[in-house]
Amino acid sequence: MAINAHTFKLNLKDQQESKENPTGNPNDLLGNLKQETKTTTDNIQKGGSVSDNLEDYSLSQNEMEEILLQGDLKVIQTQESCYNNENELTKFNVLFVDFTKRMN
């Protein structure tokens, strides 16, 4: 078979695709993607379910420490210079709290 410019381009494209999906089977790529999505969803869903009763969500010091261990609370240290005083950096903390994980 004579190789013309058109075929050569197609072959190059095929090679490129085979790097992304070594088996060449589009179903494998889809399968991997599905598995990846499932794993992500499973991780997200670890938070559990929400109950009708929304009372008693106050967190004691111990519970707060527990949250810190679980990673639901993240203390993010920040520093910004104020527009009115560019030369001085103000340090402050921002607390990111994920309450969706506690709604079960």
Partner 1 sequence: MSKHIVNPLGSPHKKISSGLIDGPTQKETYEYNVKVLTKRFKKVFDSLEANLKPKTKISKRGKLKGSRLHMYSYNNKLFTQKEDKFQDFNTTFVFLLDVSGSMSAKTEGVNGMTLSRLGLSKAILKALSIALKKSLKGKIKIEVLLKSCPESKFQEHGNAGFLSRVYSSSVSNINPNVIDNINYSCPVADEQGNQSGSSTPELLLGKAVSYFLKSYVKTKNYLVFNMTDGDIYTNMSSENTYTSWSNRDNYKCMKKYFKGIPFISILMGYGFGKEDMKNHPNPVLCTDDKFVVRLETTISKLARSLSQ
The nearest distance, CB 55 to partner 1, in angstroms, is: 7
Amino acid at 96: F
| DSSP codes of every residue in 29-83 | HHHHHHHHHHHHHHHHHTT----S--------HHHHHHHHHHTSEEEEEEEEEET
* Cβ(101)–Cβ(47) below 8 Å: yes
- Dig out the tokens for 48 from the structure: 């559990």
**Min CB(16)–partner 1 separation in Å:** 13
Q: Which of 20, 61, 69, 87 binds partner 1 (CB under 8 A)?
A: 61
Residues 1-30 interacting with partner 1 (rule: CB under 8 A): 1, 7, 10, 24, 26
Instruction: Give me the residues that bind partner 1 (CB under 8 A), please.
Output: 1, 7, 10, 24, 26, 40-41, 44-45, 47-50, 54-61, 64, 67, 73-76, 78, 80, 82-85, 90-103
